[in-house]
Amino acid sequence: MKKIIVAIDGYSACGKSSTAKNVANILKYNYIDTGAMYRAVTLYFLQNFVSLTNPIEIENALKEIEIEFRHNPKTQKSDTFLNGINVEQEIRQMVVSDKVSEVSAISSVRRFLVAQQQKMGRKKGIVMDGRDIGTVVFPDAELKIFMTAEMITRAKRRQDELLEKGEMIDLEDIIENLKKRDMIDTSRQDSPLKQAEDAFVIDTTNITFEEQVEIIVEMIGSKIYES
């Protein structure tokens, strides 16, 4: 069967990653969480005290970074590895969330990661989620989805996710972090988060997770059938 590229963009904590992961599982597609790649770079910068205002330091640091996704047979999920070390848990912590939008606004970081993402999509059969997938990484993707949800819904979902990992964070702090990230993500000069003109918008505030997955799987079916 013909394989396509599915680009899923949208704000933080709208359910992009979990939806994309499930859709990819159902269709036996590869799933790539590009946010995890920006988070892994942020973690490396924090661990190595890389100055975000020093372009040479940043270029040198990027040369030392290797990011991979490896299947975890225990969780049946894909884990993020930074230079051979599993950082899946660490990259989701608030210290990383607090800095990641700033790091992802740096053009050299974006160039470095976009090139790797485009390589991953060469064989198609991929579901990729992020902020610039339908606009920059794969402007010719066969299917583009833009996901949104109300702020309070997003914050509660993020709080539950963090709680599951043992981090208890006040809802107000999460809302503040999400607002700050929305502002930086949508207003940065290089590849700001915006809806591609040909993207389908899915507001996940009032639909269940299962419905989100079903809607996208059906859309993919129609795209494959159309072409």
Query: Beta partners for 6?
Result: 127, 143
How near is the Cβ of 77 to ligand DC at its closest, in Å? 15
CB-based contact 179:173 (threshold 8 Å): no
Stretch that binds ligand DC, among 66-74, 80-88, 126-134, 141-149 (CB under 6 A): 126-134
Contact present, 89 and 165 (Cβ < 8 Å): yes
Of the candidates 8, 18, 7, the one whose C-alpha atom is nearest the C-alpha of residue 148 is 8
* DSSP-assigned beta bridge partners for residue 200: 145
Judged by CB under 6 A, the stretch of 61-69, 127-135, 160-168, 200-208 that binds ligand DC is 127-135
Residues 82-111 that bind ligand DC (CB under 6 A): 100-101, 104
**Could you tell me which stretch among 33-41, 65-73, 75-83, 169-177 binds ligand DC (CB under 6 A)?**
33-41
Provide the mask over 180-219, with x wherever binding to ligand DC is found by CB under 6 A and - wherever it is not.
-x---x----------------------------------
Of the pair 205, 222, the CB lying nearest ligand DC is at 205
Residue 37: exposure state from Cβ atoms within 10 A (0-12, 13-18, ≥19): buried
As a dihedral over the C-alpha atoms of residue 211, residue 213, residue 215, residue 221, rounded to 10 degrees, the angle is -150
CB of 37 to ligand DC, least distance (A): 7
Q: Provide the binding-site residues for ligand DC, judged by CB under 6 A.
A: 12, 34-35, 38-39, 100-101, 104, 130-133, 181, 185
